Every structure is written in C-alpha cells, then in structure tokens.
Amino acid sequence: DPVEEIYATKRILAAAGIRQTGPNLISCPTCGRTQIDLVGLAKEVEARLQDCRKNIKVAVMGCIVNGPGEMADADYGYVGAGRGKISLYKQKECIEKNIPEEEAIEKLLQLIESESRR
C-alpha cells in the first residue's frame, strides 16, 4: 500500500535522525528488572502521541536502575519504578514518583500538553 510506504519512510527517516515530524519514541529492551508491561505501555504511549506534531523525544524505560541514565537526552521520560509504578521525568528531572501504572500515561500526556502551552 503506497500510503503505508509513506508512513514507513517517515518512521525510518525519524529513527535515523534525518527528519523529525512529531514525537520520537525511544524505549529500552526489557530485562529482569522490568516490572511493568514495557512493550504494551510503549505501544500505548506511541498510539496516544500519534496526533502530536511537536518535535519531542519521549522515552519509555523499564526500570529505575538504568532508565534515568538511558533517557537522559529525552524531553520526557516514563520510567518503571517498581511493580506497577511509574516515575515521570522532564529531561533529567524527576517530576513525579510512584504513579500507579494505570494513571501514568494520562499524566505523561498532561505534562507534555502543559509544557506546550508555555
């Protein structure tokens, strides 16, 4: 499908850092420390940001051990902080800790939206 080819091309160019047209989502590979549904959450964050046109980098990381360091160059971070808990970051600063997993994506989106109004 030619339309899908266009979307695929845009994703490849964005991943290569050549052309950014909206959010760039990064994630870590899962490991034994991950106590959240990292893959499912990353897919949900990506889907919820689909209509966002801001050139931002959003990191979805699995654990509090490596997550903050690995996402240090992201604009916003969503980091697993234990079983079913998330910490949210704006750049390297932790904004809120131990948010229940079921509330965290909405809080992340609110954080991104509130920053865009400034």
For residue 59, what pLDDT band results from cuts at 50, 70 and 90? very high
pLDDT at 61 over 70: yes
pLDDT at res. 79? 93
Among 27, 22, 34, 116, CA closest to 78: 27
Mean pLDDT computed over every residue of the chain: 87
pLDDT at res. 98? 94
pLDDT at 64 over 80: yes
